[in-house]
Amino acid sequence: MSHSVIASRPDVGHGHRRPLHVPSLALALAGVCAAPTVWAQDAAGQRRTTIVPTVSIGETYTDNALLRDDDKRGDLVTRLTAGLSLGHRSAWLTGSLAYSVSGSAHARETKTNDVAQGLRAQLRGELVNNWLYIDSSASIAQQTVSAFGLQTTEAGFDNPNRTEVRTLNLSPYLLRPLGTWGQLEARLQHGRQSAASGSLGDSTSNTGSVVLSSQGAPRLGWSASAVRQRVDYETGRRSTTDSLSLGANYRVDADLRLNGSIGRDKSDIVSASDPNTTTWGVGLQWMPSERTQLVLQRDRRYFGDGHRITYTQRLARASWSLSSSRDVSTGATSFVPTSTTTMFALFYANLAAEQPDPLLRAELVLQRLAALGINPTAEITSGFLSSQVTLVSRQDASFAWRGLRTSFSVGLYRSDSRRLDEGAQAIDPLGGATRVRQHGYSLTLGHKLTPVTGISLTLSDQRTADAGTTRGNDLRSLLLNWTTQLGREGRLSLGARRVEFDSLTNPYTENAVFATYGVRF
């Protein structure tokens, strides 16, 4: 299945856009679904392409198909899923794509039958040798609309508080040396986010930047940058931020580097009457080995104080990381995690130190999850949609350990998202809240019974705090899974789950058992 990511050109008028057509990326790849896995490598061993089609069928019995304690109804759900994983590596292009489409049929509640798509795609390419490059990514995933509405851990239920969200990011950039004294980077970035159920959360972001910096890794380096970002929300307002900065960095030794900057921000997000702010930043990066890294950064920006702290450590059989950040979230192009986090994303982050290459890491994550019988799209945090620029403070901690037969991973998080633009709509129009505070954890324990059979247990909890008169909620889940390999490419999974949702408006408990058989071609 080879598809191109297609995004229609935005109309010139504010607030009017044509739909975003990210699914075409995966649909074109459907043409090779019947083909076996393909490996291609050039004579130098620098090129490799993998194509892996998959098909699975699953049966689930749930005792609460409507997710209502006052009207519990049992139901049998059949789900058929077809997917494709594509990976490519060459001297000028590196990318990976995982697309799936699934349809569910309910024996009783047929009105909840649905078709869902999933997509994770990233591409890095060199368009013109040593001159022009591009970074791009696209995704399709289910996401919660309101942090204060009905929460679920699985798709396929009739939940008006969930919708399919599509994102696309394209970032071409020019990178050229300027003699022996410096280099120039000029970058454009276009981001789109679109929700299937309405315009809440739909946004477009366009950013242009020019950076002049010293070349190589001298003991004393310098940089000068100019950035303009324009963010346009369908149900919010358009905002513009301009930034100018001068920076310097000093390499103390091979392991430690210090940096500092000073500049000026002009933004109409926080204040239209006084948009100018003097900015500064200081930080350090310490990397005593390939297994250990520490990053500390403190900034003063137009929104106030910001920071980024990251510590990662990899041991022979374990890895752990700590992170804290305070920054703005700007929709589709934001790197601040306010959206849904999946088991794939958790394992992908945990294995960053073990496998830094993005393509190889994605393959490794899928192998580990398959061995544990865990769905890569299973949600840890449900996130929410936003109709404006928000200020997000978040802390994360994760630990992963892998023994000869037993593995263990845990992730903890806490986030505080609040309205940054007092003149715009609230973060959550459905709940009427201007602030969302969440915390939770996910714990997975896996054990290999035989070389091809394993069992895993996953516990997760997500709590949303009250926000004024808007009441919060608590979503807890327990998942037990047994999986075995049948033949060379077949895999059978049997499992059970229990979900408890505490809320004043719609509390429920759900118990389910399921069986899934999947084949890789």
pLDDT of 483 > 70? The answer is: yes
Encoded tokens for 105:
């049929």
* Statement: residue 133 has pLDDT above 60: yes
If one compares 3 and 263, the residue with the highest pLDDT of the two is 263
SS3 379: strand
Cα separation, 496 vs 482, in Å, equals 9
Q: Residue 426 pLDDT more than 90?
A: no
Give the span between the Cα atoms of 251 and 264, in whole angstroms.
25
- Answer yes or no: are the C-beta atoms of 167 and 123 closer than 8 Å: no
State the pLDDT confidence band at 158, using cuts at 50, 70 and 90.
confident
pLDDT of residue 335: 40
Any idea what DSSP says for residue 29?
G
CA 395 to chain centre: 16
Write down the pLDDT at residue 319: 86
Tell me what the mean pLDDT of segment 105-116 comes to.
Answer: 91
Other CB atoms within a 10 A radius of the CB of residue 307 amount to: 15
| pLDDT, the chain, mean | 83
Pair of tokens at residue 246: 């001068």
The pLDDT score that the predictor gives to residue 74 is 94
Domain 6-520 annotated CATH 2.40.170: yes
As a whole number of angstroms, the distance between CA 434 and CA 387 comes to 11
The pLDDT, as a whole number, for residue 15 is 38
Position 159 pLDDT exceeds 60: yes
Question: Could you tell me the CA-to-CA distances from 172 to 25, 50, 127, 275, 317 in Å, in that order?
Answer: 19, 25, 9, 29, 38
How many CB atoms lie under 10 A from the CB of residue 32? 15
Q: What is the pLDDT of residue 356?
A: 72
What integer is the mean pLDDT of 414-438?
72
Per-residue pLDDT at 381:
62
Instruction: Write the pLDDT tens digit of every residue in 443-472.
Output: 999 999 998 999 999 999 999 999 888 899
Residue 425 pLDDT exceeds 70: no
Q: How far apart are the first and last CA of the chain?
A: 14
C-alpha count within 13 angstroms, C-beta hemisphere, residue 421: 27
Tell me the pLDDT tens digit for each residue of 486-510: 988 899 999 999 999 999 989 999 9
pLDDT tens-digit map of 58-81:
999 999 999 999 989 999 999 999
Q: Residue 283's beta-bridge partner residues?
A: 259, 297
Q: What is the mean pLDDT of residues 397-418?
A: 90
Report, as an integer, the average pLDDT of 383-403. 86
pLDDT higher at 81 or 239: 81
Banded pLDDT at 385 (limits 50, 70, 90): confident
- 404, exposed or middle or buried, with CB in 10 Å at 0-12, 13-18, 19+? exposed
Looking at per-residue pLDDT, the higher value among 323 and 158 belongs to: 323
Supply the pLDDT for residue 365. Answer: 80
Number of helical (H) and strand (E) elements in the chain, helices listed first: 3, 26
**pLDDT tier at 225 (50, 70, 90 boundaries)?**
very high
State CA 182 to chain mean position distance.
Answer: 34
* DSSP-based helix, strand, coil % in the chain, nearest 5: 5, 60, 35
Could you tell me the pLDDT band of residue 271, with boundaries at 50, 70 and 90? confident
Tell me the whole-structure pTM to 2 decimals: 0.82
Q: What is the pLDDT of residue 363?
A: 75
Determine contact, residues 21/482, Cβ cutoff 8 Å: no
Confidence at residue 351, expressed as pLDDT on a 0 to 100 scale: 72
- pLDDT tier at 331, thresholds 50, 70, 90: low
Residue-level pLDDT at 465: 94
Q: What size, in residues, is the chain? A: 521
Taking Cα atoms as reference points, which of 470, 471, 475, 520 lies closest to residue 502?
A: 475
Strand 318-329 vs strand 304-314: parallel, antiparallel, or unpaired? antiparallel
Return the HEC string of 88-143. Answer: EECCCEEEEEEEEEEEEEECCCHHHCEEEEEEEEEEEEEEECCCEEEEEEEEEEEE
128 Cβ partners below 8 Å, 6+ apart? none
Q: What is the mean pLDDT of residues 204-227?
A: 93
Residues 6+ away with beta carbon under 8 Å from 400 = 318, 319, 320, 347, 350, 351, 407, 408, 409, 410
- Decide: 320 and 402 in contact? Cβ < 8 Å: no
So what's the pLDDT on residue 283? 98
CB burial string 475-486: b at 16+ within 10 A, e below: bbbebebbbbbe
Mean pLDDT over residues 355-378, rounded? 72
Angle between helices 358-372 and 343-350 (to 10 degrees): 120
Q: Are the beta carbons of 395 and 243 closer than 8 angstroms?
A: no
Query: What is d(CA 234, CA 194) in angstroms, rounded to the nearest whole number?
Result: 9
- In the chain, what are the domain boundaries? 6-520
pLDDT higher than threshold 70 for residue 28: no
Weakest-pLDDT range from 24-38, 97-111, 503-517: 24-38
Lowest mean pLDDT among 30-39, 205-214, 238-247: 30-39
Residue 57's region, left for phi above 0, alpha for psi from -120 to 50, else beta, is beta
Q: Cα(87)–Cα(64) distance, rounded to whole angstroms? A: 39
At residue 375, the pLDDT reads: 67
Structure letter (DSSP) for residue 32: G
The residue-averaged pLDDT of 288-304 equals 94
Percentage of the chain surpassing pLDDT 70?
83
User: Cβ(86)–Cβ(96) under 8 Å?
Assistant: yes
Average pLDDT for residues 41-51, to the nearest whole number? 64
pLDDT at residue 380 in the model = 62
Confidence of residue 441 (pLDDT cuts 50, 70, 90): very high
User: Token pair 């935005």 is at which residue?
Assistant: 10
Stated as kind and residue range, the H or E segment containing 447 is: strand 435-450
Whether the pLDDT of residue 42 is over 50: the answer is no
What integer pLDDT is reported at residue 415 of this predicted model?
93
d(CA 172, CA 183): 17
Would you place residue 84 in the very low, low, confident or very high pLDDT band (cuts 50, 70, 90)?
very high
Average pLDDT on 390-402 reads 90
State mean pLDDT over 202-221: 91
